[in-house]
Structures are given as structure tokens and as C-alpha cells.
Structure 1
Amino acid sequence: MTWLLTTAAAGLVALLALQRLLWPHFWQDLGHCLALRRVGAAARRRMRSGVLTYLDCFAARARRSAEKPFILFEGQVLTYRDVDERSNRVARVFRGERGLKRGDVVALLMSNEPDFVCVWFGLSKLGCEVAFLNFNIKAKSLLHCFRSCGARTLVVGSDLVSSREEELLCLKEDGVDLWVVDKSSSLAYVSPLLEKVDQTSGEGLPAEDLPRANLMSNFLFIFTSGTTGLPKAARLSHLKAVMCMSFLRLCGATSGDNIYVPLPLYHMSASLLGIGGCIELGATCVLKRKFSASQFWKDCQKYNVTVFQYVGELCRYLINQPKAVEEASHSVRIAAGSGLRADVWRDFAKRFGKIQIREAYGLTEASIGFLNYTREIGPIGRGGYFNKRSMPFEILKCDLQSCEPVRTESGQCLKVNKGETGLLVAPVSAMNPFLGYAGNKEMSDKKLLRDVFRKGDIYFNTGDLMLQDHRDFVYFRDRIGDTFRWKGENVATTEVSEILGSLDFLQDVNVYGVSVPGYEGRAGMAAIVLKPEHSLDGQRLHGHLVQNLPAYAWPWFLRVQTSLDLTETFKQQKGKLVEEGFSPEAVQEPLYFLDVSQKDYIPLTQTVYEDIISGKIRL
């Protein structure tokens, strides 16, 4: 008997040793898979009790945790009950004053503040579909976004009215119903919302007046940049919104956490993952109007922050800050987000080592995502057996010139081998639907790949290049097409080209992104052709950018050419331009750099180039 036990123990030790050698992350993969199953089981239990949607989850949480602080913001403390009652008032005002109902589309143009959440929830209680507008975008893009989603009502924050008078007047002439989140209005044609909210009952609407939602129906519109040059209104289903609510739990957050959300609420990361994650957990959200690197650790200490959300740029800003006492005396244990470059990740871990990084990847339009639950620096997640069962995906061979997957003679797509970069795609199914873009059927159709492996199958094309290594870690490599990421935002190159092209001294423009040492994503660069007998007017170009584009979309570098490089199908050639970058040694044509202090484009000399590379000049 002793011999049998000894043999069994030795066999078990050998098996464990083999597992550690061949599958070192087996138990972590299994643990994450089980966590996903627990989340799914909890969701099914909620559904059986009638809690189906994001809003249902909030209502249930408001009943269970009524007095728990939900939002901390600039000295304000709003409990779950406070937000529930205030959103009831908003719902009653819009139902009584304008008769808004299920299916009506309402656009929201607001900065981060508690009333963003209250207005959103109030409209959702009526069954309205809410469209989150990016307050950074300029006139033409803003009007395009509003009109493309089919909204007939706009709610604007009090701090944005004065800077948006021109667009508001245009919308008023279109017959749009305009509201400002304030007790009074400086514009006669914009109705003050809070004047009526403060006089309205906070009781919930009668049960018979509450519309029941279909999980596959549209909940929100969130705008994403794309190859069309103008933002696209991505439709988000109720199912997608509910799935997002589990993100923070999967990262290790609990109901006792204070979760710092400095990202803009018009982004899915803040509104669905952040606010939704707090609701799912019953945690407290520390909402920041705008991210401030210098105030970050002070806020973390002041509000006893234990979890914070990031995009890659945020972490780099923190690293570049002078050391502060607060960074060593906080309670932060988890940082959850996306876009964290490996070198920044290493520096962040070295300086703020006790914080667990939970790097993730996700898309607004589709329910595909990854989460790195290990200590490995660099990957966005893992793609082994367990994870592919939970979230199916494939990585396809891709022609980087055409941005299309490579197909065999029979029409089938080809998978890349491990260690090779390819195009990430995910099967479209009932649990991973793609509702398309509002008012843009052509772009919706372009995101779908058909007959990928067999006749009739449909896959969602993420437009992102990924690599899965031999250890099953998945790495983000780049974006294909005409979009690059800078300062945490997607930049559509064709939109920037169109804005630059309206200047009378520019004949042709080709916009692309280039890598700059020490920065996340790619900085904007434009190859330009001047009109005959015209010269570059850098000051005028800078002023034009200020008026028409958000700062993250400005091209930092210019390359003056006599003609643009085109492909054989007359498409602008970007590959070689991207590869050569902005080095004066690699580029034999005139180069210019945007000197913001001078409000002008100055010659990009070797000295200026070296100062940028060394970090002496900051972008």
C-alpha cells in the first residue's frame, strides 16, 4: 500500500512538473475560464429573475445598495438611490414635456459629471436610444455624428454651450429639440433641463410605462473613427452592454473598491466597463471631469482609490511626472485598461510595482475581447484552448496593401501560424452580434467577411493585426486601413486629409501615423503637395487645425513632395512613407515640425529630430 501511495505521489509530482514545463499557465487559464463561467451563471440567474438589461442591473443595485455611495465627484457624493431618483426626474421631464418614448434617439454632448449618468439613465428608462457624442470633435464632424444616428433631440452640458453656438443654431434650424443641463439658458432656443428636473418627482415611473427591451435591440450609439474619414455610429445592443459590466470583476475588483474613472464617458471604456463595472459589483465610482497627471495620485489618496482605469497614454503621463509623496502612500492595487505599450508597462511596474496591471483588448462594435490575467508584460491576453472556447476568434493571413485577407483558389481564408502576424476576426453569432453602423450600410457590410472557412459563415473583421505566440499569448501589432491611434483616440486619416485639403495652397494630402520613441500609438504626419507658385504657410495651417480638428488629430510632421505616391489602383501609398518616418536622414524631401509654442511649422532639422527622439522636445 505504501508503495502504491509513493508511486502515485511520484507520478503526480512528475505530472505537475511536466505541466509547469509545457503548459505553465494552465491553472491561470483554467481559473479565468471558470471565472467567465461564474459570470455567465450569475447573468443567467439575473435573467431568470427578470433582470435583463444594463438598466435593469442598475435598478436592482439601487434597491439592494440604496445608501451606498455610487459616484464621488468634486466634493459631491451621490448614492445609488440619489442617481436612481434623479434619473427618474429626468425621465419624467422628457416624457411629460416632449413625449419621448421607446425607440426615440437622443444625443448627449456632455463632459464627465454625475448628470451625464443621470440623463443617460433617465432617457434609457423611457426606452430611448442614447448617442454619446465626443465633445472634442469640431463642427462638421459633430453635425455629421448627430445626423447619422437619427437623433431629433440633443442634450448638451452647461460648460459646452458657449463653444457650440454655431452648431446648436444649425441643429435648431433643422428642427432639433435642444436642452442644456442647467437651471437657465443663455440661448433662447435651448431649454434649461434642471429648472424642470428640480421641480419634478423622483418616484419611479409606473411599471406599465416602462418599456421592455429585447437583448438584441439597440441600447446605445457610440462613435468610432474609420476609413470613411468621419466617425461612424456603432450600434451597441443591450446584450453587449451587459457583457461589458463584468470586466472589472474579471480584473479582480470587488464591491469594496473605489474605482477611479478619469476617461471620458463618451468612450465605451468609461461608460460601460467603468460605470457598468461599478454597478455590477456594487462598488463606488470616483469620477474625474478630466484626467490630470499632476493630480492623479493626490486624488487616489484623497478618495482612497483602489482600482483605476487607463488607456496607454495615461500611464505614460504618470511615469513622466516628477516623483510625488502620494505615489508611495496610496491604496491602488489594480490598474485596468488597454493600449499599454510594453516599455511603458515595464517602467510603470518598476516605479509603481505593487499595482497589478490588467491589460485588455475590446471593440465597440463587436463582443470580442482579451484580458491579460498573468504577470507577463506586453500581451493583451491569451488565446489557448480555454479562451478560444469562451471567446472564439481566428487570425488570418492578410495582404497589407489591400488590407484584405488572403484566400485560396477555392475562396477560403488562411490562418496564420503561431508567431506570425495576421488579421483578427471573430465569428458573428447570437452571442456575438454585429448591429452595424447607423446610416452607413456600406461600411457595415465592409466589416463582415463571408465564406471565410466554409460557405455561409460570417466573421467580423476587427481591422487589427495580432500575433499569437507559441506560448499562446496574444499581442496587438497594429491597425490596418486608414486609422491610427494617438493620445488614446482613433484618428481617421481621410478626415484629416479632407480638412487639410480645404486650404488653398495645398494640392494633395496623404495623412498617416508614424512611431515616435517614448509615445503610445502613432503621431500624425502628412505628405503634402503644394499648388504651383504657392509656399507653405505654417501659421495659417496651424490656425486651420485649431479651428477644425481636435488636438490629437493634428499632424505633427509634414513632408513636402512634388507628387504623391500612388498604387497601381490609384490609392495613396502609405507603407513606404510610414517606414521612412520623419528622420531627415531617411527622407530627402523637406520636412517640417509643428512647434505649438510658435503656432507654426518649423523646418525639421537633424537637431530638432534628435531633440524629439531624446524627449527634450515633447509632443
Structure 2
Amino acid sequence: MIAWVITTAAAGLLALVVFQIIAYPYFWDDLIYYLKLRKVGRVMRFRMKNGVITFLDCFVRQAKKTPEKPFIIFEGQVLTYRCVDRRSNKVAQVFGTARGVKKGDIVALLMSNEPDFICVWFGLCKLGCEVAFLNFNLKSKSLLHCIQTCGAKTLVVGSDLVSAIDEVRGILQDNGLDLWVVDSSTPHKEVNTLLDKLETASDEPPAEGSPQTDIMSNFLFIFTSGTTGLPKAARISHLKAVMCLCFLRLCGATAQDKIYLALPLYHMSASLLGIGGCIELGATCVLKKKFSPSQFWKDCQKHNVTVFQYVGELCRYLINQPKVAEETAHRVRIAAGSGLRSDVWREFSRRFGNIQIRESYGLTEASIGFLNYTAEIGPIGRAGYFNKRSLPFEFLKYNPVTYDPIRTDAGCCVKANKGETGVLVAPVSAMNPFLGYAGNKMLSEKKLLRDVFKKGDVYFNTGDLMLQDHRDFVYFRDRIGDTFRWKGENVATTEVSDILGSVDFLQEVNVYGVSIPGYEGRAGMAAVVLKSDQTLDGENLYRHLVENLPAYSWPWFLRIQSSLDVTETFKQQKGKLVQEGFCPLVVQDPLYFLDVSEKTYVPLTQTLYDNIVSGKIRL
């Protein structure tokens, strides 16, 4: 009898296991990841009970715990956690005493990747400042807009970027902005120098200590592109920053890892996820000033790198490089990032060895995010039962013309079905706050959906189109609105249109992104209308682009039209233009291509088109 009971139980258990494998093959992956998230949450709450509340608190705690552990390796320099802590104290002493910078002050930071970016950032945090990270690719108009929008009264500029503010320095000074350069000297009398003052500053923490902080208050400003045409200053709460600390741990990184970081620190992925991830683990960051595809594997081998962060474009550059011995003679085991196309993913895995890809999705403005913790190629994450318990989200049906969510007669939104593309939204809550954009309440309100499923509820609209398949994998499909991604950056079409529109021979401009085989994101293209009796001056237009826009924003293709298509409310129509692309056989209008070597736009012939789509000509 006992034997029969045991046999029956074993058979039932086996049947249950077989059913689980067939019906829910990723059950254990989902459960294990969910338990990891729960553990991270418990650790975070325990730390907060013991006074370790903010991103800065976590760094100071790690500096006390592992003071001699290398934190930053950069161009031959090795800075331990103690070194960075003490140097950031010096920064706090200089700004606190020399200019009376204090809690609540907003300080803009325009610096390239270097250790002092982190030291200045943390030093200002120790005074309770809110730091605004500026994209060093921005030109005069956009740069001035960013500084004014976030309300900064102080600007700190890296020594290699001083020329970037030459055109706006007078305006900034007239507005009372306090200018600092991370150098020992400067030819500009009105600009303060930092490095010489650090030499004599105390390395003790500020006398008043780190200010008490509300975890829901603003920590940083990080700028994102938007439909206004100019970057938006997204407010990053202390809670959001602390939640970012666990990213590398969830990807499988440990304290023993050396993490290679070549992404710009003004991006959230590099600063909060990368630097923050190292702090959380007590790991070492190998910081690179600028990504170099030819040096990447050599650096990995030289520094015994075991983890690196990527954007999809970075990986594409690597697979397009000639083969070198170092690309398989390395110790890299994890690559963590976002935007990796499936074909690049497969080739990367085939060519560079046994590296776990941890593709993810996240937003600057909100805490909703995904992580693909499986071996499946292509998805950004999963949307099963456990995932929604950790951070709720939904995919909504939308109007394919307006991209607005479809609502029922009762006014409620409709959930997208599995296998159907929908707009990703997430409820605004204590764990998913939205602090809005600085200086623009209208844009902040536009990101919110109200009365989504019931009266009074509020959801954050990501503006991203996603698909959840029947296995609960989530795939990124597209980005709604007047932005597209190119070279790992968001391009605001209205900003580019405004810049092009100031050229004297152009009457109207409509900027959009077009897909090119073998490239991540979309390349810039512009449909333009020439002024009466004017012709296209490609050389003049090229010079205008160089002077006013970062290279990733340049339109590679022009389409000359007699008029632009608009809606009944006079909004420019892009859908048909995007669909037709830049093929001369499809587009009857004159087409031009930006020939950088000739520094002008040249007619786009069929032969030239074939060379671009085949990869013979690289953009």
C-alpha cells in the first residue's frame, strides 16, 4: 500500500513537472527573478531603517566598507572608493565655502567621462544640491535652453569642453550664472577654476554633514528629447536613483567583477545604472572617455573586464570590426544594456564567445522597466504574473493614426491582446512616481493618462509600442511621437526642423526617421520645400548642420517637395513619408544624400541607394 502511494505520488509529481515544462516553461526563471527583486527590496528597506537612504548614502557606506577597493580605473589612474569619497569632500568644501552653494541649489554639469565627473557630482550632492547632467553634444541654442529650463545658477564645465559654451557665455553671465571650469587656470577672468582650489581644500566632509533628504524629492535632472523640439529636463527622484542601484546585481554581476563603461555619464544608463551598480556591488568600474570599437577588446583583456554595458549601436560597431585575437581571449561574461537588435545579438553571441546578454528596457522619467533574464534572443523582458506583481504595467490598444489609446463608450481604455502591439503604460504610485519635467507643466501633464480603467486612476504613458507574445515575452516595437533613435541617442524631429528652418533657402521642413538595413534605430531624413526662386545649397546646409546640431541629429537624406502634407489641424504628416523611405524607385520627388567626405548633399541615385542599403557606404 505504501509503495503504491509513493509510486502514485511520484507519477503525479512527474506529470506536474512535465505539464509545467510544456505549459509554463519559464515558470522557474520568472519565480527566481521575482524572488531576487523581493530580496533587493528587503535589503533596501533594511538599509533605509539604518539611515542609508539615498544614492549618496550608499556610496559613503561603500567607501567606509571597502575604502581601499579600486572604484574607478581611468587612463592609467586608479581611484579607490576612499579616494573618490575624499575628493568629493574637497569639491563640497570648495563650493560650500567659496560660493555658499547649499541644499536645494541647482548646479548644471557639462563634463566628458572622467573621474572628476563623479567627484564633482558627489561633492555637490554632499551639499544637498540638485545636479543637472548636460549632454556635451548640444550646441548653443539647445545648451542654453537646458541650463535655463532646469533653473541652474551654477555651471561646472570640463576643461575639454570650455569652447562649447563660448557662444553663450556672455548670456549666461548676464543672467548671473556662476561659471566654473575643472582646470587650474583659464584665460577668462569671469570663470572660476576648480582644480587649484581642490589642492588646498580639506578632504573632510562638510561641517554640517549630509542634509536630511526626502526619498521622494528630486535628486537629478537628466535631459530627454521630446516633441517640443528641445530637450526636456526630467526630474529623477531619490527613490528612482536608489532603485537603479540594483540593475547590475540583477544582471548577475558581483563585487569581484570589473565593469567596463564607455557610455556617456550624462545618460542615466551610465551614471545611475553603471556607476550606481558598481557602488551597490562594491565593484570596480573601468571608465572610458569615449567608446572605441578598435580598442574595446584590447581594453577588456588589459583590465580583465568581466562585465560591460552597451547600447545596441555599440554592439553593432563591434561586429563590424575586423577580427582580432583579443575578441575571444577575454574574460567578459555579461553584457548588460538595451537596444540590441536580434540579428546583431545572434552574431555577437556567435563571434565573441560565451557572453550572457542581459537586454533591458527602462525610462528616465519613470521606474517601469524590463530585463530579459533568459537565453531567448530578441525580447526586452517578460510580462508574466510575477513580473506584474513587482511593478504593474499594461499594454493598451491605440489608434494607429493618432496613437491615442482607444477608449470604450464608457471612457475606459482597452487592453491589447497577446500578440498585438500596444502602448506601454504604468500606474503612477509611490514606487513609480513621476515628478514631471522642469519648467513645463503642459508637457508633464501630456505624459499622464487619467481614468484609464476606473475613475480617478492615473497612468504614465511611456509613448513606446510593445508586443507581448503568447509566451509572455515582451518586444519593443517603436517609439511614438516626434523622436527617433540614431547612434544610441534620441533625436527630436522638431528641434532639427527648427534648425533647418532657419536656413534662408528653405521654406518648410518635416523631419522624420527612416530604417536602413543593418542599422539600429532610424536615420534622419527631411522633406523640405524650397523658397520661391531658390535652389538647394548643399554646402551651405552642411556648414549649418555642423555649427548647430550634433552629428547624430543630421538628416542624411533630403526629399524636395513642392508642398508638405498636413492634417486638418495643420500637423505635419510623417507616416507616408516614413513608409516610402528614401528609395528612388518609390519616391518620385528629388532625393539627396549627405556626403560627409564632400561636405555637401549630392543627388541620391539608384546606384548610391544600393551601395547604402548593401553596406558598401556606411553612415
Match of 2:187 in 1: 186
2:361–2:371 CA contact under 8 A, matched in 1: yes
Q: Is the 8 A contact 2:510 2:527 kept in 1?
A: yes
Q: Distance in 2 between matches of 1:6 and 1:184?
A: 83
Taking the aligned partners of 1:134 and 1:561, their CA distance within structure 2 comes to 33
TM-score (norm 1): 0.99
Summarize the alignment of residues 114-125 of structure 1 with structure 2, pairs less than 5 Å apart.
114-125=115-126
Tell me, yes or no, if the aligned pair for 1:89 and 1:200 is still in contact at 8 Å.
yes
Q: How does 1:37-186 map to 2 (within 5 A)?
A: 37-186=38-187
Structure 1 gap segments, 5+ residues each: none
Residue 17, structure 1, aligned to residue 18, structure 2: yes
Alignment partner, residue 424 of structure 1: 424
Which residue matches 1:446?
446
- 1:166 CA drift (Å): 1.9
Q: Secondary structure at the match of 1:401?
A: coil
* Paired letter, 1:335: A
Deviation for aligned residue 1:409: 1.5
Cα distance in 2 for residues equivalent to 1:353 and 1:401: 44
Question: 1:204 offset after TM fit, Å?
Answer: 1.6
Post-superposition offset of 1:398: 1.1
Residue by residue, what CA displacement relative to the aligned partner does 1:393-427 show, whole Å, maximum 9, x if unpaired?
A: 01111113222111112111111100000110000
What residue identity is the alignment partner of 2:295? Answer: Q
Residues 163-204 of structure 1 deviation map (CA, whole Å, 9 limit, x = unaligned): 422222221121110000011112111111111111011012
Question: What are the residue-to-residue correspondences of 1:318-467 with 2, within 5 Å?
Answer: 318-467=318-467
CA shift, 1:48, in A, is 1.1
CA contact (8 A) 1:157 1:181 kept: yes
**Equivalents in 2 of 1:585, 1:289: separation in Å?**
43
SS at match of 1:166: coil
Q: Output the CA distance in 1 between the equivalents of 2:607 and 2:178.
A: 54
8 Å Cα contact 2:427-2:458 kept in structure 1:
yes
AA aligned opposite 2:606: Q
CA distance in 1, matches of 2:569, 2:260: 49
Question: Structure 2 CA distance, aligned partners of 1:99 and 1:22?
Answer: 63
Secondary structure at 1:160's aligned position in 2? helix
User: Which deviates the most, 219-228 or 348-357?
Assistant: 348-357
Alpha-carbon deviations, 1:116-148, whole Å to 9, x = none?
Answer: 000000000000000000000100000000000
Report the equivalent of 1:273. Answer: 273
Partners of 1:126 and 1:568 in 2: CA distance: 52
1:202 paired residue number: 203
d(CA) in 2 for partners of 1:468 and 1:539?
46
Cα distance in 2 for partners of 1:30, 1:40 equals 15
Match of 1:471 in 2: 471
Q: How does 1:478-497 map to 2 (within 5 A)?
A: 478-497=478-497
Contact 1:467–1:474 (Cα < 8 Å) also in 2? yes
Question: Structure 2: which amino acid aligns with 1:412?
Answer: C
Contact conserved, 1:593 with 1:602, CA < 8 A, in 2?
Answer: yes
What is the match of residue 591 of structure 2?
591
Deviation of 1:568 after TM superposition, in Å, equals 2.2
Per-residue deviation, 1:10: 1.4
Q: How far apart are the structure 1 equivalents of 2:564 and 2:607?
A: 27
Q: Is residue 244–residue 273 contact of structure 2 (8 Å, CA) maintained in 1? A: yes
CA contact (8 A) 2:139 2:164 kept: no
Q: Quick one: distance in 1 between partners of 2:334 and 2:505?
A: 51
* Alpha-carbon distance in structure 1 between the residues aligned to 2:293 and 2:423: 35
C-alpha deviation, 1:525, in angstroms: 0.4
1:298-313 aligned within 5 A: 298-313=298-313
Quick check: 2:126–2:209 contact (8 Å CA) kept in 1?
no
C-alpha distance after superposition, 1:212-258 (max 9, x if no partner): 11000000000000000000000000000000000000000000000
Q: What CA distance in whole angstroms lies between the structure 2 residues aligned with 1:353 and 1:299?
A: 16
Letter in 2 for 1:63: K
Preserved CA contact (<8 Å) 2:428 2:434:
yes
SS of residue in 2 equivalent to 1:43: helix
In the TM superposition, residue 8 of structure 1 has moved relative to its aligned partner by 1.2
SS of the aligned residue for 2:160 comes to: coil
* Contact 1:334-1:356 at 8 Å conserved across structures: yes
What SS is found at the alignment partner of 1:11?
helix
CA distance in 2, matches of 1:530, 1:439: 35
Give the 3-state SS of the residue equivalent to 2:223 in structure 1.
Answer: strand
Tell me how far 1:162 sits from its aligned partner.
Answer: 2.7
- Alignment match, 1:535: 535
Structure 2: distance between partners of 1:165 and 1:416: 50
In structure 2, the residue matched to 1:215 is 215
Equivalent-residue separation in structure 1 for 2:328 and 2:353 (angstroms): 10
Moved more, 395-404 or 480-489: 395-404
TM-score normalised according to structure 2 size: 0.99
Aligned-partner residue type, residue 43 of structure 2 = A
Q: Is the 8 A contact 1:383 1:474 kept in 2?
A: yes
Contact 1:400–1:480 (Cα < 8 Å) also in 2: no
Displacement, 1:6?
Answer: 1.5
Distance 2:482 2:339 in 1: 18
| Partner residue in 2 for 1:31 | 32
In the alignment, residue 475 of structure 1 is paired with which amino acid?
A: Y
Q: Distance in 1 between matches of 2:391 and 2:604?
A: 47
Cα offset, 1:209, TM superposition = 3.7
Q: Which residue of 2 aligns with 1:515?
A: 515
- Percent pairwise identity: 74
Deviation of 1:434 after TM superposition, in Å, equals: 0.1
SS of the equivalent of 2:167 reads helix
Amino acid at match of 1:544: H
Q: Secondary structure at the match of 2:415?
A: coil
Tell me which amino acid in the other structure corresponds to 2:607.
Answer: T
Q: Which amino acid aligns with 1:87?
A: S
Rounded to whole Å, the distance in 1 between the matches of 2:223 and 2:344 is: 28
Kindly state the Cα deviation for residue 343 of structure 1 after the two structures are TM-superposed. 1.1
Read off the aligned partner of 1:383 and give its amino acid letter: A
2:166 and 2:536 mapped to 1: Cα distance?
32
- Counterparts of 2:213 and 2:29 in 1: how far apart (Å)? 36
Secondary structure of 2:386's aligned partner:
helix
Amino acid at match of 1:438: A
Shift of 1:378: 0.5
Where structure 2 has 5 or more consecutive residues not aligned to the other structure, the ranges are none
**Cα distance in 2 for residues equivalent to 1:164 and 1:144:** 12
Q: Distance in 2 between matches of 1:210 and 1:572?
A: 50
Tell me which amino acid in the other structure corresponds to 2:39: R
RMSD, matched Cα: 0.7
